[in-house]
Amino acid sequence: MKKDWPLWEVFIRSKHGLSHKHVGSIHATDAEMAITNARDVYTRRNEGASIWVVPSASIVSSAPGDKEILFDPSEDKIYRHPTFYEIPSDVENL
């Protein structure tokens, strides 16, 4: 069995002004081929204005088990949201 070509994660910017969004992955021997393949596989219907490809092996992600440690602390800080504050209804532009 021969080894697969390296795996790349593909991110597409759909329209100018929006950030790149992960769409899937592709195999390619190098970055240039990764861009070309990503174009063919993920933008056949005018979905793209820009493509990023990143070697999958370079992506570092948080562990599912750390979800609580990482994200729970922000849950009780409701004062970070504008709806926390009571403003008299006759005050405008606030």
CA atoms within 13 A on the CB side of 11: 10
Within 73-92, the residues that bind other proteins by CB under 8 A are none
Task: Identify the residue among 19, 46, 58, 61 touching other proteins (CB under 8 A).
Answer: 61
For 40-63, the DSSP string reads HHH-TTS--SEEEEEEGGG-----
Q: How far is the CB of 35 from other proteins (least distance, A)?
A: 13
Task: Identify the residue among 15, 16, 19, 40 touching other proteins (CB under 8 A).
Answer: 40
Tally of helices (H runs) and strands (E runs) in the chain: 2, 3
Cα–Cα nearest to 39, from 61, 13, 73: 13
Task: Identify the residue among 16, 44, 80, 81 touching other proteins (CB under 8 A).
Answer: 44
Residues that bind other proteins (CB under 8 A): 1-5, 7, 23-27, 29-30, 33, 40-42, 44-45, 61, 63-64
